[in-house]
Amino acid sequence: MRFTRRAAVAVVGVAALLAASACGSSDGSSGGGSGSKKVEVFTWWADGGEKAGLDGLVAQFGKDCAGQEFVNGAVAGGAGANAKNVLASRLQQSDPPDTFQAHAGAELQDYIKAGQVEDLSADYDTWGLKTAFPAGLIQNLTVDGKIYSVPANIHRANVVWTNKKVVADAGITDDPKDMASFIADLDKLKAKGIKTPLAVGKDWTMLMLLESVLITDLGADKFTGLWNGTTDWNGADVTKGINDFKTLLTYTNTDRDALDWTDAEKLVMDGKAAYQLMGDWEAADMDAKKFADYGWFTFPGNGDTYQWLADSFVLPKGAKNVDGTKCWLKTVGSADGQKAFNTKKGSIPARIDASPADYPKYQQAAMADWKTFKQVPSCAHGSGCSQGFQGAANSALGAFSTNQDVAGLQKAMATAASQFAAK
């Protein structure tokens, strides 16, 4: 009995000691942060062209911001879903990274509304960014007169990527210009033994495809309206768009729900599919994978629309190393930084003073288009939709993949729009 009591006291003592040491260590780590020269950059760029772009940016950061140390806080996972989860919990715990990646546009508004990011308008003036970026982009970035993020790049979503050999073997010489000729080409490929000429992956990649079809069937202005609440999702033109989308799905691989975009890309590279609709990061990724025989065209019927999305960096409220973060943001917005990043990632610079000669041929074409085309946002990539809207849309597309219920998808999107759009 005496022994057990002594043991009990010992156990309690050890527990108390452990608790004390645990508190002590956490105090130490948070206290050490204030004078830190480390800049933790939180992204979802963990491999492929994205990682190469980040490395380029880091090299430039090393030159521009001597004395600051880059800390990679990348979290891998398709379209950033995993990273966003980690970020959300860190912001909840008031433990933000020094800067984080966020899609510019509607998605950033979630953070702005929550008061989680700082106003950068004054720095835009200091760094001369208001004249370096096109006026249209500045206008898109401005929320209630303030700018909260520095875009590192511009991507385009409505591009179809092709396997040139497969397309040529089917006797297709011209890029399709409208939905009818696109479907005729898909039929030709099918007749040549390409069972699934159009490669697609899980929910969000199908959402991208649906968006492109809707741009064709509704036109740029009405399409933009779908995401800000001015176009009715219940309209007959939307029904036609969803039916066209359903037709296109019959040309796609049936295992789409199990594939990420890189798996679908592999179908194109392996010649099992001829086409894939994907953002223009696919160019850099195919280059990195040493696949040179690819072509591209704007989604049939999209005409002069540039469905844009941008990755941008922000200054979170409560960042530990504000000077370091501002230096990072300055690098991101600078001509050298944008060049270092975009030549590797396969995107184009948001700046209009960049020299096209520095870029590969796809980007040269895209840079020319960026200045003259009509801009529309992308829901799947956050320039058009808040995260809630994206989540509902992805879920609806996931359901449509198996049930093929046109009315059901239309109703789901209409409900989601009334719930999330334009609030």
**Binding residues for another protein, total number by CB under 8 A:** 46
- By CB under 8 A, what part of segment 65-84 binds another protein? 78, 81, 84
202 binds another protein (CB under 8 A): yes
Nearer to another protein, 11 or 422 (CB): 11
396 binds another protein (CB under 8 A): yes
C-beta of residue 137 within 8 angstroms of C-beta of residue 370: no
Amino acid at the residue 175: D
Gyration radius of the chain over CA positions: 24
Distance CA 127, CA 330 (A): 7
Nearer to another protein, 15 or 322 (CB): 15
**Both tokens assigned to 345:** 């990632």
406 binds another protein (CB under 8 A): no
- By CB under 8 A, what part of segment 258-317 binds another protein? 258, 272
Nearer to another protein, 57 or 319 (CB): 319
At which residue do the structure tokens 């740029």 appear? 220
DSSP assigned state of 374: E
392 binds another protein (CB under 8 A): yes
Piece of the chain touching another protein by CB under 8 A; list 59-67, 132-140, 276-284, 380-388? 380-388
Annotate each residue in 33-72 with x if it binds another protein (CB under 8 A) or - if it does not, as one string. Answer: ----------------------------------------
Q: What number of CA atoms fall less than 13 Å from residue 29's CA on the CB side?
A: 6
229 binds another protein (CB under 8 A): no
Question: Which residue, among 342, 315, 341, 309, has the nearest Cα to 329 in the 3D structure?
Answer: 315
- Give the list of residues 6+ apart from residue 314 with CB closer than 8 angstroms, or none: 99, 100, 102, 108, 111, 117, 118, 120, 148, 149, 150
Piece of the chain touching another protein by CB under 8 A; list 119-127, 228-236, 252-260, 294-302? 252-260
Contacting residue, 113, 130, 164, 371, with another protein by CB under 8 A: 113
394 binds another protein (CB under 8 A): yes
Nearer to another protein, 147 or 396 (CB): 396
Piece of the chain touching another protein by CB under 8 A; list 3-11, 62-70, 142-150, 293-301? 3-11
5 binds another protein (CB under 8 A): yes
Element containing residue 313 per DSSP (H, E): strand 311-314
Distances (CA, A) of 415 to 225, 321, 382, 410, 421: 15, 42, 18, 9, 10
Piece of the chain touching another protein by CB under 8 A; list 62-70, 207-215, 290-298, 390-398? 390-398
Amino acid at the residue 274: A
8 binds another protein (CB under 8 A): yes
131 binds another protein (CB under 8 A): no
203 binds another protein (CB under 8 A): yes
11 binds another protein (CB under 8 A): yes
DSSP letter string, 206-241: HHHHHHHHHHHHH-HHHHHHHHHTSS-TTSHHHHHH
Contacting residue, 121, 131, 247, 403, with another protein by CB under 8 A: 403
Which 3 state secondary structure label does DSSP give 175?
A: coil
Give strand ranges (E) for 155-310. 155-156, 159-163, 198-199, 275-278, 294-298, 305-309
Please, is 71 exposed, middle or buried when counting C-beta atoms within 10 Å of its C-beta (0-12, 13-18, 19+)?
A: middle
Piece of the chain touching another protein by CB under 8 A; list 105-113, 160-168, 319-327, 338-346? 105-113
Contacting residue, 21, 26, 85, 250, with another protein by CB under 8 A: 85
**Both tokens assigned to 162:** 């092709």
Nearer to another protein, 231 or 394 (CB): 394
- Give the list of residues 6+ apart from residue 15 with CB closer than 8 angstroms, or none: none
According to DSSP, the residues that pair with 103 across neighbouring strands are 311
Piece of the chain touching another protein by CB under 8 A; list 123-131, 179-187, 221-229, 398-406? 398-406
399 binds another protein (CB under 8 A): yes
250 binds another protein (CB under 8 A): no
User: How near is the Cβ of 258 to another protein at its closest, in Å?
Assistant: 5
Please, is 119 exposed, middle or buried when counting C-beta atoms within 10 Å of its C-beta (0-12, 13-18, 19+)?
A: middle
Footprint of another protein on this chain (CB under 8 A)? 5, 8-9, 11-12, 15, 19, 78, 81, 84-85, 88, 91, 110-111, 113-114, 116, 195, 202-203, 254-255, 257-258, 272, 386-388, 390-392, 394-399, 401-403, 408, 412, 415-416, 419
